[in-house]
Structure 1
C-alpha cells in the first residue's frame, strides 16, 4: 500500500527557517513521502509528485524532482469562458507532450475557482478535463473543490481514472478561514477517499487553526484509521 505524502507548502515557513530539522520532524511523525513545491532537497523521502511551473521558462529545472510534475494553478479568469478553458487545455497538452519527451507525466491541480465557475452548466474543471489529452492527470484538491461548490465524491466519480492524486485537507470549507487536521472539519473524508481509491493521498494544510505538526500527526492517524493502512 502506498504511503501518505505531505505537500511541503504546508511547512513552508518551517522549511525556510530550518529545512533539515523540519524534514526530520516530518519523518518522525510517520510520513515517508512528500510533494515539493520548489527545489528544496528532500533526501530520504519518496517523491511521487511535485508542483512545478511547467507553463513558464524554467520547467527544465524540475525534470529530476519527480516522475509526475503538476501545474499548481492557472489564472482564475481563464476558467470563466470556453475559450479560456481551451487555451488552458492547449497549454497543458503542450506541457504534457514536452514531459513525455523527458519521461515525465504532467498534471493539473485545482483551486476553488475551477469549480465555482460554470461553463455550459458544468464545473469549469470538468470542461477542462474533456479537452485534455489522456496522458494529462489531475490532482484534485478536495477542499478547494468543496469551497467551489462541488459535491466532491460525485465530482471524483465523474472525473474517473484521470484523478491520480488527491490533496486531502479539511476545515470549515469557507474562504479565508484556517483549515484543520483531516477528520476534524466538515468534509466527508471517508466518502471522498472511497470515490478515488487508486489516487495517491497528499495531505496539505495551506493554513491551520492549530499547531501544524500536531495537525499533520492527527491527519495521518485519522487517514490510517479510515483506510486501514
Structure 2
C-alpha cells in the first residue's frame, strides 16, 4: 500500500496542474466531518449515554452510528430520545448496527422514530462459509433492503475479516457484492478488517466504484490483530482519504475497539491526527 501511495504522489509531479492536487485533497480532508461508531464507547454509553454523547460531541464528531448493547440499540434511551439528544449536541444519528432477525420490523420502526438514515447488519447471518450460503444471504439482504426502502431507510452490511475467505477460488465478499442489488444493499466497508484479511480496500473501490457509502476508518495492529490509534498500525489513512470519491463514501465512522489508555484519549488522538494530516 505504501508503494501505491508513492506512485500516486509521484504521478502528481507530471504537470503543474496536478501539483495542486495534494493541497486540494488535504484541504478537503481537514474540512470533512467525521462520525464515530458508538461501540468504541460501549461501557460509557451503558453507564450514562447522555453524558457520554456530550463528551463525544466535544471531540468534534458530527455523525453517530449506534450499536447493539445489553440495553438495546439506543442504550436505554428511546429511539426518539437518542435522535433528539444527538441533534441537540450538533450531531446526527445517521446509522445503526442491527441484527437481521425476527424483530427486524420493529427495528425499522425504531430507526424511523430516531430519524436515522441507515440500518447496517453487523454480522453475517449465515450457516457457513460457502458460496451457496453467501448467495442465500445476498437474497435476504435484497429483501431487507427493499423493506427498508419502503420505510424511507437504507439497508447495508458491515464486514469483518472472514467474508474475504475463498471457496473454490471465489472470494465470498465478492459473491455477496455480485449478488446484492446496489440500490437496495449499501455496503459499509471496515477498512481495518479488509487489510487484516490480506486484501486492499483500493481494489474494492476500483472493482465496485460507488458501492461503499459508509466506512469504518480503523487502523489495525497487524501482529496483534486488534485496532489501534491512527498512525500506529498498518492502514494508510491518508491514502484511504484520497480515495473517498471513488468509493462513494458519504459517512466515515471512526471505530476503535481496543485502546492504549481510554476510548476518549484514543479518539482525541485520532481526531488530532486527521486535523494535522
In the superposition, the TM-score normalised over structure 2's length comes to 0.74
Identify unmatched segments of 5+ residues in structure 1.
Answer: none
8 Å Cα contact 1:86/1:131 also seen in 2: yes
Structure whose alpha-carbon radius of gyration is higher: 2
Q: C-alpha displacement at 1:183, in angstroms?
A: 2.4
Aligned length: 223
Q: Distance in 1 between matches of 2:42 and 2:101?
A: 22
Structure 2 counterpart of 1:151: 200
Q: C-alpha displacement at 1:93, in angstroms?
A: 0.5
Q: 1:57-68 maps to which residues of 2 (within 5 A)?
A: 57-61=103-107, 62-64=110-112, 65=114, 66-68=116-118
Q: C-alpha displacement at 1:219, in angstroms?
A: 1.0
Q: Distance in 2 between matches of 1:109 and 1:67?
A: 15
1:166 is the counterpart of 2:215: yes
What do you get for the CA RMSD once the two structures are aligned?
1.9
From 29, 45, 49, the counterpart of 1:19: 49
Task: Describe the SS at the equivalent of 2:119.
Answer: strand
Q: Distance in 2 between matches of 1:196 and 1:123?
A: 24
Structure 2 counterpart of 1:28: 58
8 Å Cα contact 1:179/1:209 also seen in 2: no
Q: C-alpha displacement at 1:146, in angstroms?
A: 1.1
Greater than 3 Å deviation, 4+ residue runs:
75-78
Q: 1:180-191 maps to which residues of 2 (within 5 A)?
A: 180-191=228-239
8 Å Cα contact 1:53/1:59 also seen in 2: no
Q: Distance in 2 between matches of 1:76 and 1:192?
A: 30
1:97 is the counterpart of 2:146: yes
The farther-off stretch of 203-212 and 193-202 is: 193-202
From 153, 159, 173, the counterpart of 1:125: 173
1:39 is the counterpart of 2:69: no
Q: Structure 1 or 2: larger helix share?
A: 2
Task: Describe the SS at the equivalent of 2:276.
Answer: helix
1:50 is the counterpart of 2:96: yes
Q: C-alpha displacement at 1:194, in angstroms?
A: 2.3
Q: C-alpha displacement at 1:204, in angstroms?
A: 0.4
In the superposition, the TM-score normalised over structure 1's length comes to 0.89
8 Å Cα contact 1:76/1:114 also seen in 2: no
